[in-house]
Amino acid sequence: MAGLEKSWSLVSGRWCYVFGAQFTILLGVYAITHIWIALLAPPLFTFWGAIVFAIPATLAAPILASLITVIYMSLRVEKDGINAPMLAVELGEEEDVTESEMVESTEPVVLVTEEIV
């Protein structure tokens, strides 16, 4: 129940932003999926039709998940005033951060700390 209350408090006053961003991405996925199917035009009730239909949706799922994460972090920064040290403590990566470091830090939030090769 606490998660729903937190979500409600983060989104309150920003419904248009959250809905608009998600709706725009979903509309784009819908359009790309139907253009993709119209161009390839396989019979949809076959094995290959199912594969062709699933490709755009499979590619769009990580984009939608990323969008939701960016919206969440944006709302956290705006509403909670979260910064990099606060996020590190919340994620359990750092334990010896003082209260003054959390308040005074202007360091940008970096979610990926490992180098991708």
Per residue in 42-75, pLDDT tens? 676 788 877 877 887 788 888 888 888 888 888 8
Termini Cα distance of the chain: 40
Residue 14 in 3-state DSSP?
A: coil
Given a cut of 60, whether residue 117 has pLDDT beyond it is: no
Q: Which two tokens stand for residue 66?
A: 């990323």
Rounded Cα distance, 49 and 94, in Å: 49
Global pTM value: 0.62
Q: What is the mean pLDDT of the chain?
A: 76
- The pLDDT tens digits for 10-23 are 888 888 888 998 89
Q: Are 56 and 36 in contact (CB under 8 A)?
A: yes
Given a cut of 80, whether residue 85 has pLDDT beyond it is: no
